[in-house]
DNA sequence: GTCCGACCGTA
DNA sequence: TTACGGTCGGACG
């Protein structure tokens, strides 16, 4: 740097906030990413640089740098902890733009400067000093008054948004003092935006007057007694110390030990393709064209670069385990830019929604792709666009068994292709099941498809991606970079809408999808998809891809508009592959054990049947509640109590138990018979049928979008309801075994829902009890009934336990009375006592109900929403039910979120520890692993650590989480 | 063949 | 009193 050189310093952080508020909001059209500030920044930089390079008149930079704040932790906080303490978190749609603007800076080939502990202003002050000392001139691109103290004959400011120079006369005009007195002026007035205290009653005008009269701040303070106005004099004397602190805060440091030298700021010629690559990724089409012209670059030959977006910080604090959003690249042709430019996130949503409804779906327009060259051209286009929807067609709903019959892709709404691969000809064919002519050879098609599915720069959109992910895995394809419309809908509308494709198409596109039965037949006429003729298959499969892409266009922008991006990014999308791998691994189930159990159960049940017929006086179908009710309460005239809502006699276990307690023999036998036959039919007989013939293991299927609260559900088979409460039932668990040389590890959260309750409702006694690790139900009983924990009767503890659970479920006197078989009055009294002892619980319940009524949903501690559209129902029963569910959802849902977070982190943690344990199952608060015997000891602490710290750092719970873990040969012993 | 209610297994 | 899925019987077409 030498005389004649000119340094431009851009206040990047200041620009971000100013542009965000001053410029019309703008979102990237392909996915709704907010980019308004990025756009303003790029346009401004381009203008500055273009002038600099094109002309030899005016102010021309030779050196250029963009300066950012590193974080809010600076030396000023050490001087004055309240500094900027009034700042609120940035708006959600501004968050991803911080990182993008840094990437933009690098795309412009400009230095991107920040330093821990210092503000951008201090770095600017330091570099400005260095430059002027070397004889150069400086332009600071900012309009922040905090920087005006730096203005001098060699340094001036430039407001990039108003295109206005700020030199010494402009400072005097605006503030009434020259730049060198700005520090004194700001020390007197303070600054409410930075929470810097000033002297009450002194604003810029008075401050300027005083400085005019007394020269500077020190003189003013020394001679404050001479001030005539009483109030003003008193305040200046009283707050003199405060102004000295303020002076320290507003004075910019010119001695920051910077690491990058001024010489590194020398401006080089623009690298056109590099910049264009970034601008293309941002979809700034106008600027792309300008830059291309100015740098003589062929923009069409430039690939959009990958951009990383940070959805990390939200109102709940920063997070570390953040999956980055998939890189979405040029999709200029999804819709006209003009229609969305300048719109807010919510405008984009409204526009997309109306477009989606307006555009009709024509399933006859789809292309059946039967030629490899044609397929390759479609896939090339997908690579170019960076977005496509994708759907597999198979011959089974079980992804572990299904064969791939074909797949469909959509590149734009209506631009849809179906690729048949393994369709067979009709049953009339003498050879039976020969492949239909003119399908692309299977391996060649997969090979071509694999390139796109495994390319990170192409976003694959599917409805229920876990299924397609598993199918493709079986053909050696690892899908990366995807969105899932089912999960988008789930995050946005759990409890408010269904998330199946048919329902979503109806709701958002006003389109009724082709019914599968109409394509493949029904009942005994049903055929698998490989037997469907190609025209029908193309329409059906193509529609799925078409609908999926259109749904994504509507749903994805709603994430940002509703502030739900982090829920989707952290709790849903990363879990897809984790669950898919768990399903893929399966668990080993010992067929012999089940078979033996089944025999024993059959024998025992048969014995009961004889006795039951005897006692009933006739043969009947014991499994028929109708017949049972008629005999018990009609023929035998037992004192029947309850009726079901359809008017039938209730024969529930509760009713039968009550009768048994009165000494009746038959009801007891029926209860026992029911237990045996339930175990037999639901478990010992059904489970062997789920053993996969190839893997010899049982592969459950997890649904990520089945519950309102965020819990998973398991089906085919349901492995989340394997018996555990009775010793008979537990025998079933002994059939779930580890492979030779391995062990099963079961790790479960202890009392996680009560811990979450203690945290969210902020109950001191509960928190203390968990901190001390004491028996929570005994503590509750002791508080409520005044009984010491020492030697407490088990019945007292049992009641307290029922109440604790009742609280989590949104207690009612009716329900508690039922649960404990006590009167409504007594139950009501218990609840009253509970609320007296733990008043915070009632406050929490009232607040939650109120929140639900106001918003129509409730939230977990991680921001997941559960909707209760009927919370205001006029029917009191429906309303009360919704209120209880709304009270329960944040507790159950927060616990569900915590274990989801643990699962998302678990595989990497085990890998990093060099352990080979495989996560197999999740049962709401429990995770089951299989691991080599010799690794058990090392594995358990790793699992426990991940699970116990799963809420961190997004949420710091005020209660410790406790995980119990054990290893054994089978699930019964491990649990 | 399909749907729904009753019942019961889990957290 | 919360959240699920599976099995069965029985009614409907």
Query: Beta carbon of A14 within 7 Å of strand B?
Result: no
Residues A605 and A552 in one domain: no
User: Looking at residue A433, what is its pLDDT?
Assistant: 62
Q: How many other CB atoms sit within 10 Å of the CB of residue A630?
A: 16
Query: Beta carbon of A723 within 7 Å of strand B?
Result: yes
User: A363: domain CATH number?
Assistant: 3.30.420.10
Give bridge partners of residue A417 from the DSSP assignment: A367, A409
Q: What is the dihedral of CA A371, A375, A378, A380, to 10 degrees?
A: -130
Nucleotides of C under 7 A from a protein CB: 1-11
Structure tokens at A235: 């305040």
Q: Which residues contact A453 (CB under 8 A, 6 or more apart)?
A: A390, A460, A472, A477, A478, A479, A480
Residues A558 and A625 in one domain: no
Residue pair A775/A804 in contact by the 8 Å Cβ criterion: no
Residues A17 and A102 in one domain: yes
Domain-located, residue A934: no
Residue with tokens 């730049």: A179
* End-of-domain residue from the set A264, A284, A305: A264
Give bridge partners of residue A410 from the DSSP assignment: A389, A416
Residues A638 and A553 in one domain: no
Nucleotides of B under 7 A from a protein CB: 1-2, 5-11
Question: In the structure, how far is the CA atom of residue A596 from the C1' atom of nucleotide B4, in angstroms?
Answer: 34
Query: Beta carbon of A722 within 7 Å of strand B?
Result: yes
Domain-located, residue A163: yes
Q: How many other CB atoms sit within 10 Å of the CB of residue A850?
A: 10
Residues A67 and A22 in one domain: yes
Among all protein residues, pick the one whose CA is nearest to the C1' atom of B7: A652
Domain-located, residue A472: yes
* End-of-domain residue from the set A662, A690, A718: A690
Residues A373 and A502 in one domain: yes
Work out whether strand A588-589 and strand A482-484 pair parallel, antiparallel, or are unpaired.
unpaired
Residue pair A513/A503 in contact by the 8 Å Cβ criterion: no
Residue with tokens 């619980």: A841
Residues A633 and A773 in one domain: no
Domain-located, residue A572: no
User: Looking at residue A341, what is its pLDDT?
Assistant: 36
Domain-located, residue A717: no
User: Looking at residue A347, what is its pLDDT?
Assistant: 67
Question: In the structure, how far is the CA atom of residue A892 from the C1' atom of nucleotide B10, in angstroms?
Answer: 15
Query: Beta carbon of A355 within 7 Å of strand B?
Result: no
Domain-located, residue A488: yes
Residues A386 and A535 in one domain: yes
User: A96: domain CATH number?
Assistant: 3.40.50.1010
CB-based burial of residue A110 (10 Å sphere; 0-12 exposed, 13-18 middle, 19+ buried)? buried
Question: In the structure, how far is the CA atom of residue A235 from the C1' atom of nucleotide C4, in angstroms?
Answer: 67
The tally of domains found in chain A comes to 4
Which phi and psi angles does A417 have, rounded to 5°?
A: -130, 145
Residues A375 and A483 in one domain: yes
Nucleotide whose C1' lies closest to the alpha carbon of residue A820: C1
Sign of the Cα torsion A183, A185, A188, A189 reads negative
User: Looking at residue A427, what is its pLDDT?
Assistant: 60
Domain-located, residue A236: no
Residues A392 and A508 in one domain: yes
Residues A637 and A520 in one domain: no
Among all protein residues, pick the one whose CA is nearest to the C1' atom of C2: A809
Q: What DSSP state is assigned to residue A119? A: -
Query: Beta carbon of A624 within 7 Å of strand B?
Result: no
Pick from A238, A138, A149: nearest CA to A186: A149
Among all protein residues, pick the one whose CA is nearest to the C1' atom of B4: A646
d(CA A149, CA A179): 5
Please provide the distance, in angstroms rounded to a whole number, between the alpha carbons at the two ends of chain A: 71
Q: How far is CA A156 from the centre of its chain?
A: 45
* End-of-domain residue from the set A209, A237, A264: A264
Among all protein residues, pick the one whose CA is nearest to the C1' atom of C7: A682
Query: Beta carbon of A682 within 7 Å of strand B?
Result: yes
Task: Output the DSSP codes for A897-964.
Answer: HHHHHHHHHHHHHHHHTT---EEEEE-SSEEEEEEEGGGHHHHHHHHHHHHHTTTTTT---SS---EE
User: Looking at residue A327, what is its pLDDT?
Assistant: 33
Strand B close residues, chain A 517-546, CB < 7 angstroms: 517, 522-524
The overall pTM is greater than 0.75: no
Query: Beta carbon of A718 within 7 Å of strand B?
Result: yes
User: A679: domain CATH number?
Assistant: 1.20.1060.10
Query: Beta carbon of A650 within 7 Å of strand B?
Result: yes
Pick from A354, A341, A122: nearest CA to A251: A122
Domain-located, residue A23: yes
Q: What DSSP state is assigned to residue A157? A: E
Residues A128 and A11 in one domain: yes
Give bridge partners of residue A736 from the DSSP assignment: A589
Structure tokens at A522: 């029904």
**Span A897-915, pLDDT tens digits:** 999 999 999 999 999 999 9
User: Looking at residue A581, what is its pLDDT?
Assistant: 97
Q: How many CA atoms lie within 13 A of A319 on its CB side?
A: 23
The whole domain housing A830 covers: 764-837
Query: Beta carbon of A652 within 7 Å of strand B?
Result: yes
Residue pair A141/A19 in contact by the 8 Å Cβ criterion: no
Strands (E) across A270-396 are located at: 367-368, 387-394
d(CA A315, CA A48): 35
CA geometry: angle A47, A52, A53, nearest 5 deg: 105
Low-confidence ranges of chain A (pLDDT < 50): 56-57, 310-343
Pick from A130, A216, A206, A153: nearest CA to A175: A206
């Amino acid at each position: 740097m030498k005389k004649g050189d000119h340094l431009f310093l851009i206040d990047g952080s200041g620009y971000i906030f100013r542009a965000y508020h001053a410029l019309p909001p703008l979102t990237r059209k392909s996915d709704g990413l907010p980019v308004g500030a990025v756009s303003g920044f790029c346009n401004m930089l381009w203008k500055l640089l273009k002038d600099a390079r094109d002309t030899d008149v005016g102010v021309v930079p030779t050196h250029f740098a963009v300066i950012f704040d590193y974080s809010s932790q600076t030396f000023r906080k050490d001087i004055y902890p309240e500094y900027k303490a009034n700042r609120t978190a940035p708006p959600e749609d501004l968050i991803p733009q911080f990182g993008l603007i840094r990437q933009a800076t690098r795309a412009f080939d400009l230095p991107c400067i920040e330093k821990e502990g210092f503000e951008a202003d201090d770095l600017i002050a330091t570099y400005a000093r260095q430059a002027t000392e070397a004889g150069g001139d400086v332009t600071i691109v900012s309009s922040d008054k905090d920087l005006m103290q730096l203005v001098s004959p060699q340094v001036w400011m430039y407001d990039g948004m108003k295109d206005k120079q700020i030199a010494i006369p402009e400072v005097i005009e605006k503030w009434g003092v020259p730049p060198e007195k700005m520090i004194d002026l700001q020390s007197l007035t303070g600054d409410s935006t930075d929470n810097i205290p000033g002297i009450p009653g002194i604003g810029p005008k008075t401050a300027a007057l005083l400085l005019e009269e007394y020269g500077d701040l020190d003189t003013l303070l020394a001679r404050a007694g001479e001030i005539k106005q009483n109030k003003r004099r008193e305040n200046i004397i009283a707050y003199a110390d405060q102004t000295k602190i303020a002076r320290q805060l507003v004075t910019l440091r010119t001695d920051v030990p910077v690491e990058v030298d001024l010489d590194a700021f020398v401006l080089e010629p623009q690298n056109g393709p590099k910049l264009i690559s970034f601008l293309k990724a941002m979809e700034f089409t106008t600027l792309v064209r300008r830059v291309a012209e100015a740098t003589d670059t062929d923009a069409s030959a430039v690939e959009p670069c990958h951009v990383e977006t940070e959805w990390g910080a939200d109102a709940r604090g920063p997070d570390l385990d953040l999956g980055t959003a998939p890189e979405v690249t040029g999709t200029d042709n999804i819709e006209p830019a003009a229609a969305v430019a300048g719109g807010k996130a919510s405008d984009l949503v409204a526009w997309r929604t109306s477009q989606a409804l307006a555009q009709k779906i024509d399933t006859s327009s789809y292309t059946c792709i039967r030629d490899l060259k044609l397929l390759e051209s479609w896939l090339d286009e997908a690579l170019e666009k960076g977005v496509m929807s994708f759907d597999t067609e198979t011959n089974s709903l079980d992804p572990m068994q299904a064969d791939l019959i074909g797949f469909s892709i959509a590149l734009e709404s209506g631009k849809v292709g179906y690729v048949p691969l393994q369709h067979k000809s009709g049953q009339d064919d003498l050879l039976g099941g020969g492949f239909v002519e003119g399908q692309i050879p299977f391996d060649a098609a997969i090979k071509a498809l694999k390139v796109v599915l495994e390319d990170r720069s192409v976003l694959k959109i599917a409805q229920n991606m876990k299924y397609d992910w598993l199918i493709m895995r079986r053909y050696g394809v690892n899908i990366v970079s995807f969105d899932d419309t089912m999960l988008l809908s789930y995050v946005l509308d759990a409890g408010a809408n269904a998330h199946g494709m048919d329902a979503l198409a109806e709701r958002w596109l006003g389109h009724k999808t082709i019914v599968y039965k109409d394509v493949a037949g029904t009942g005994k006429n049903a055929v698998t998809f490989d037997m469907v003729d190609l025209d029908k298959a193309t329409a059906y499969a193509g529609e799925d891809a078409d609908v999926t892409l259109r749904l994504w266009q509507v749903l994805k922008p709603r994430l940002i508009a509703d502030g739900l991006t982090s829920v989707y990014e952290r709790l849903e999308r990363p879990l897809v592959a984790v669950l898919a791998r768990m399903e893929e691994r399966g668990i080993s189930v010992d067929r012999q054990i089940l078979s033996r159990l089944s025999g024993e159960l059959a024998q025992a049940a048969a014995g009961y049947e004889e006795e039951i017929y005897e006692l009933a006086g006739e043969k009947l179908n014991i499994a028929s509640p109708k017949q049972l009710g008629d005999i018990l309460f009609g023929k035998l005239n037992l004192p029947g109590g309850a009726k079901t809502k359809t008017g039938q006699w209730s024969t529930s276990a509760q009713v039968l138990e009550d009768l048994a307690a009165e000494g009746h023999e038959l009801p007891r036998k029926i209860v026992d018979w029911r237990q045996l036959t339930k175990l037999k039919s639901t478990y010992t007989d059904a489970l062997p049928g789920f053993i996969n013939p190839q893997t010899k293991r049982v592969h459950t299927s997890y649904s990520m979008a089945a519950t309102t609260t965020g819990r998973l559900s398991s089906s085919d088979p349901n492995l989340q309801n394997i018996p555990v409460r009775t010793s008979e039932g537990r025998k079933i668990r002994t059939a779930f075994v580890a492979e030779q040389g391995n062990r099963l590890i079961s790790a479960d959260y202890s009392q996680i829902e009560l811990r979450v309750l203690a945290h969210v409702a902020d109950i001191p006694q509960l928190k203390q009890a968990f901190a001390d690790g004491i028996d929570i139900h005994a503590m509750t009983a002791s508080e409520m009934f005044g009984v010491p924990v020492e030697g407490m009767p088990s019945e007292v503890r049992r009641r307290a336990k029922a109440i604790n659970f009742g609280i989590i479920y949104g207690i009612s006197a009716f329900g508690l009375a039922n649960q404990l078989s006590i009167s409504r009055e007594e139950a009501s009294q218990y609840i009253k006592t509970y609320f007296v002892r733990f008043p915070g619980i009632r406050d929490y319940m009232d607040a939650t109900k109120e929140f639900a009524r106001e918003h129509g949903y409730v939230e977990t501690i991680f921001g997941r929403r559960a909707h209760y559209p009927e919370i205001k129902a006029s029917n009191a029963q429906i309303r009360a039910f919704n209120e209880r569910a709304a009270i329960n959802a944040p507790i159950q849902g927060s616990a569900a979120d915590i274990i989801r977070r643990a699962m998302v982190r678990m595989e990497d943690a085990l890998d990093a520890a060099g352990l080979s344990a495989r996560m197999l199952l999740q049962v709401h608060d429990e995770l089951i692993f299989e691991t080599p015997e010799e690794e058990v000891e090392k594995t358990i602490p790793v699992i426990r650590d991940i699970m116990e710290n799963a809420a961190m750092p997004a949420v710091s719970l005020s209660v410790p989480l406790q995980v119990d873990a054990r290893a054994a040969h089978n699930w019964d012993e491990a649990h």
